[in-house]
Chain A
């Protein structure tokens, strides 16, 4: 029959599937009662109401394969659970499920059993890698990160020079004493290793804030983003993260502060196991500086109303919810909440690698509910603490003509920094 995979190909995919079957995963696959409570949880379904865009709709694709290859039902009564064989149509359905899910885990908040659809989709992504059908752009970006780690010694001097060229922008926000580096690099005595992204926007404001706070910090040679997690390649994801772990260990820092990037933060905070250093989100660091009065912020510099988009990986998946709100209240009198917010916040629709993959048409259609939510807030500025969310919110702003300004939280804080002796409004 056309489209059926060879026995060897099917066996290889089955083996890949089996490797993912830890105890919790087995329970996730066996437990779903198909009660449908998660149906309304997904922003994609809320924007494009097709059942394949629900948590249960996506997970059922994986469950039907599970029932076929790992349950007696698959052999004796396949019709009972509508099982799926490995073939072209199944792999297409697996792709649609895996890469229409942003891994936001909002459905997990609503599931009466707490089933984690992102984990179930990890099986789907592993199968796609095994079938050589994963989005190649994500694999390529992950490979580039790994290659950068392997060749860092050859590029270190160039990177150091590029940072020197950037120092002027940092000093324009917060001057540093003559002879002091505004962007410390390879600093042996540093307490904090700041891991940025590939782009000066993720370095300048953060550097100014840390300098203002008198932090002993140093910049990482590597970008925080981990494209391997988007593509679902756990082996490559470990290698990408290992570059940062090795660097932090070599420099002997106490903390690794991760730039405003949700997936990078969650991976380093929760998925690398115990280390000699602590992992913090950059917003946690800013909040700490404010609470310890290490930086002063002027509220008068942000006259517009501002709202905050909780990045899924930072908020419901890592617990950073009150810190950004405290920061916003320190720089604005006109902070308004999105409804819903915190763990119930709608995903922006750009996670799971979708922004990196392009997919503009799907991202815009599948996030109409997010655009509606932003519009309903009435805020002039939407701020967030995640690069992916920032990109997606900017696209939504343009596509739906929301007329808002999209800002990184750190940028707003940098603009509100009060120099010594300057008058300011608390």
Chain B
């Protein structure tokens, strides 16, 4: 229903522009996009400034903060010294490192105890890795997906791979003992992720719900990312067209918030899971 309304409205706009200017539909799309670049005044100007801050300087600040804070946390934890004695569990696997990798990436304990949770965890983590890859692929130098493609990696499926499990994780938090052990921070983190993913989905799926298909293509996003990578400080508004732009801004804002809060959340398990599993699987040499 939403798709029909959105697509219908855009079609009306592009048709009107095409009719008024006597040009084809493509030119109409261009004209609508161009309309978003008219000079703003007053509150619109303030909003432009805020949107620019979110999409350019804040990205640098939040990514830099993420890297520094994570590095500080890792250094502090790894330099705090070893435990006073070995903490391994038995029996010791034949190859402790392989067993630790299996624990970390295969989560066999969860598969055994709660298979449905395991299924969504695997879907989520694989999806998250693809998501990172998909975003890197937007940079013009990589191109796992051809640069002329309208779609990004997964054509929207990757977003679903993380969104669906996040709904499941959130629902699971309200169940039985999980509700008691959950803190407000657990719910907020999941909500932050959920809305981040939903706005991402909106860009990958909703972006194609316009009458004439994609307004923002992979090439458009590549121009924005290349601008960030080259520190050009260009306003992304000049390369990302249409009404969906505001969704891009919200998506980037939520991503920035995630980057800033991530070092303080349990998401650090991404870094600590393997070392801790090694502690469990690898006994110290016997005296």
Contacts and interface: CB of A to CB of B under 8 A. Distances in A.
Interface of A: 21-28, 30-37, 39-40, 51, 54, 56-57, 60, 71-73, 77, 79-82, 105, 108-116, 119, 234, 270-275, 278-279, 315-319, 321, 342-343
Nearest to B87: A116
The 5 closest A-B pairs by CB, nearest first: A114-B280, A319-B90, A80-B185, A23-B80, A274-B287
A278 B114 CA distance: 41
B22 to A, nearest CB: 58
B70 to A, nearest CB: 12
Interface string B173-203: 0000110111111101000000000000000
B287 A275 contact: yes
B37 interface: no
B77 A37 contact: no
Given A32-B266, A36-B178, 12 more contacts: A22-B84, A24-B82, A24-B275, A25-B83, A30-B266, A36-B181, A39-B181, A81-B185, A109-B89, A109-B109, A113-B277, A114-B89
A316 B280 CA distance: 11
Nearest to B285: A274
Contacts of B82: 22-24
Contact of B180 (A31, A51, A80, A342): A51
Contact of B276 (A71, A115, A273, A279): A115
Majority DSSP secondary structure for residues of B touching A: helix
A27 B185 CA distance: 18
B266 A34 contact: yes
A73 B81 CA distance: 24
A112 B76 contact: no
A315 B90 contact: yes
Nearest to B81: A22
B103 A114 contact: yes
16 contacts: A22-B80, A24-B82, A24-B275, A24-B279, A26-B80, A30-B77, A31-B272, A33-B266, A39-B181, A60-B181, A77-B185, A105-B89, A112-B109, A272-B287, A273-B85, A315-B90
**Most chain B CB inside 10 Å of its own CB: which residue of A112, A119, A343:** A112
A319 B188 contact: no
B5 interface: no
B79 interface: yes
Given A31-B276, A80-B183, A112-B107, A23 B86 contact: no
A394 to B, nearest CB: 26
B193 to A, nearest CB: 13
A268 to B, nearest CB: 10
**Most chain B CB inside 10 Å of its own CB: which residue of A36, A40, A54, A72:** A36
A270 B279 CA distance: 14
A305 B281 CA distance: 35
Contacts of A111: 109
B110 interface: yes
A82 B181 CA distance: 11
Contacts of A271: 84-85
A113 B269 contact: yes
A24 B276 contact: yes
B186 A34 contact: yes
B91 A321 contact: yes
A68 to B, nearest CB: 13
B90 A317 contact: yes
Contact of A27 (B85, B86, B276): B276
A114 B91 contact: no
**Most chain A CB inside 10 Å of its own CB: which residue of B79, B269, B277:** B269
Given A33-B266, A114-B280, A21 B109 contact: no
B53 interface: no
A31 B81 contact: no
B181 A112 contact: no
A119 B276 CA distance: 13
A421 B269 CA distance: 63
A99 to B, nearest CB: 20
Interface in B263-287: 264, 266, 268-269, 272-273, 275-277, 279-281, 283-284, 286-287
Contacts of A28: 276
B231 interface: no
B1 interface: no
Contacts of B80: 21-23, 25-26
B90 A318 contact: yes
B250 to A, nearest CB: 22
Contacts of A56: 181
Nearest to B281: A114
Contacts of B243: none
Nearest to A109: B89
A54 to B, nearest CB: 7
